[in-house]
Amino acid sequence: MKELHLISFNYPYPPSYGGIIDVYYKIKALSESGIKVHLHCFVDNIPETSDQEIKNITENVFFYKKEKNPFYYFSMIPFAAAIRTSDALLENLTSIEAPILFEGLQTTQIIRRLKNKDNKLYLRFHNNESEYYKGLSSSEKNILKKIIYKIESLKFAHYQKKILKEFESVFCLSEKEFNDVDSISKNARLIHIFHGNETVKYLNGKGDYFLFHGDLSISDNKKALEETIRMFKTLPRHRLVVASDRAGDDLKKKINSIGNISLVPIETNENLRRLFENAHANILLSYQNSGTKVKLFNALYNSRFVIINQNITDDPALMSLCRMGSTSDEIRQQIIKAASEDYNENEARSKVLEKNYSDHANVKEMSKIIFKN
């Protein structure tokens, strides 16, 4: 029986946002392929138990509390990595001999204490964290947060140059991350996002609205929504639905004042799927150049048209399935164009997505690299 330690930056359930979606469906795919997963999670508060959905796909689940000491901000180690270390984690890793898969650079601080151990080390490179925090700093309006993100960006730039060489392989989400890692350590492997979708949902004709969905506590998403709202204020004939469980009072007030824009909660995966099915087109924008976003797969598998800017993906095959706009005016024109068309692109999506981007194909490739067979 093959075994694997997997260290997650957070508890991977429910799979409701970017990186955690990749973690959860990766564990699920590993389990379904016959690999025993020992899951280690860093959390804000240790729960009494784990969800049955997690128990069903793991051999063990261990929790460790993040050490949110403000003095870590003065360390040369990035704060996100400094708070994720634990004596108990070291003990649990060394008590079961198995390869270790680190989910994100922020989980790798323990490596300096694993020297001369027999465990083979692998990294899931979710982001170029230096670029990610640089993007957050650029999008953030709060001056203090802007400075904190900028400092974290500089710390990660130094940190990743040293630590990427410690791994047997670094599994990258997209071509951009692959090139970033390859330029530093030459151990990059391209393994696409794990997303949980199996088949493309066949939808035809027209949907009822344009859809924007995302976590509105994140500055990049807030900036993207502000731009989307500006566009739809000039398109009163077209309805925009904003779906999020994290919207501030100011945003709610702003949306309520615009006749063709409404805000709805997501709450469950079933509700999100329903929103996808009834949408005519999805608006996906980002101001951070950090590879392919997980939300793109959910939209492509479960909805009709997808309108993006250049930061949503750098994958030519995925870009070919979307409508692209580099400027607000170009995106606005794509909205107008899509509104006049019936959707009939199911076959093209199915051919590209189900063959080359399935979780089954991803885990087969990853397992081959980790277990050398």
pLDDT higher at 69 or 3:
3
Phi, psi (degrees; rounded to nearest 5) at 86: -165, 135
How many residues are present in the chain? 373
What per-residue confidence (pLDDT) applies to 116?
63
What per-residue confidence (pLDDT) applies to 230?
96
pLDDT over threshold 80, residue 312: yes
pTM of the model: 0.86
- Amino acid 106 reads Q
Which CATH code fits 3-196+358-371?
Answer: 3.40.50.2000
The beta-strand segments (E) located in 146-232 are 169-172, 188-190, 209-213
Residues 343, 359: Cα–Cα separation, whole Å: 26
CATH of 209-354, one of 3.40.50.2000, 3.30.360.10, 3.40.50.1820, 3.30.70.1020: 3.40.50.2000
What per-residue confidence (pLDDT) applies to 117?
66
pLDDT over threshold 80, residue 18: no
Residues 24, 17: Cα–Cα separation, whole Å: 10
pLDDT over threshold 90, residue 1: no
Structure tokens at 255: 């949306």
pLDDT higher at 119 or 345:
345
Q: Provide the 3-class DSSP secondary structure of residue 36.
A: strand
Residue with tokens 């708070």: 83
Q: How confident is the model at residue 115 (pLDDT cuts 50, 70, 90)?
A: low
pLDDT tens-digit readout, 266-302: 888 889 999 999 999 999 999 887 778 889 999 999 9
Q: Provide the 3-class DSSP secondary structure of residue 365.
A: helix
- Amino acid 372 reads K
pLDDT tens-digit readout, 125-155: 998 899 889 988 888 889 999 999 999 999 9
* Residues contacting 279, CB < 8 A, separation 6+: 207, 208, 209, 210, 211, 241, 303, 304
- Residue 114's closest CA among 134, 143, 92? 92
How many Å from the N-terminal Cα to the C-terminal Cα in the chain? Answer: 13
Mean pLDDT of 334-340: 98
Is the Cβ–Cβ distance between 356 and 350 less than 8 Å?
A: no
Helix or strand holding residue 133 (H, E) = helix 129-139
